[in-house]
Amino acid sequence: MNLTLYFTMGYPDNESLAMFVRKGRDLGAERIELGFPCSDPRYDGPAIKNTHRSALLSYSDSSAREMLRDLSRDGLSAYALAYFSSISGDPGSFLAKVRDFGFSGLMLPDLITDYFHDAERIIRNVEGEGLEFIPFVSQATPDSVVRKLSALTESWIYYGLLPSTGVSLPTSMESIYLRARELLGGREICFGFGIRTPSQIRELRILGADGIAIGSALVDYLEHRDIPGFTSFLEGVNAVRN
């Protein structure tokens, strides 16, 4: 089971973030997901939204480029996350920057919810820059939309267990997994939104999930610059997923 770690670029500061990213790489994360900070991360939960507020003050392109160079040298795939609402004014320049930074692909969590009429065109533009477009869906996404996105792309797919990150709601992991698998067939699916306990990870592994993404559960470690705690948490994740 693959592990994807999410970080907001610039949080808690550029130097500390680089240390956490390196530690995540050293502890076996297969993918790193890096969010561009924005003023309206509307589909993130409270913890991640707070990271955006702080990151807007400290993020710099130069620090991000340096971090991506380090990841590229190690052969680790990095994926950008951005809100289309924050780049819609000049998407071409933004896509060129994502490519030049060295990202493997891009996620746009508000594209299908708020800009679905533009989705096919934007996906083609992303792929035209040599980037993977990663569909970002959840159990609230209509089946027809999930199938359309699957038909338009060939990448792995991010499937949210909850409506947004860091929100605790009763869920049946098995029913969500089986629905996603029915809709997406043999596509590689990475499950995220609200994953933070060994029992959740164990259940997804037993069900046959291809991967998991963890973000909100890392925020406290980042906020307190707690590398030992972060290390212990990921060691626990690895003990269950491997």
To the question of pTM greater than 0.75 for the whole model, the response is yes
Reported confidence tier of residue 163, pLDDT bands at 50, 70, 90: low
Domain count, the chain: 1
DSSP string, 37-104: P-S--TTS-HHHHHHHHHHHHH--HHHHHHHHHHHHHTT-EEEEE--HHHHTTSHHHHHHHHHHHT-S
Q: Residue 69 has what pLDDT?
A: 92
Q: Which domain holds residue 17?
A: 2-241
Q: Residue 168 has what pLDDT?
A: 52
pLDDT at 74 over 90: no
The CATH number linked to 151 is 3.20.20.70
Reported confidence tier of residue 39, pLDDT bands at 50, 70, 90: very high
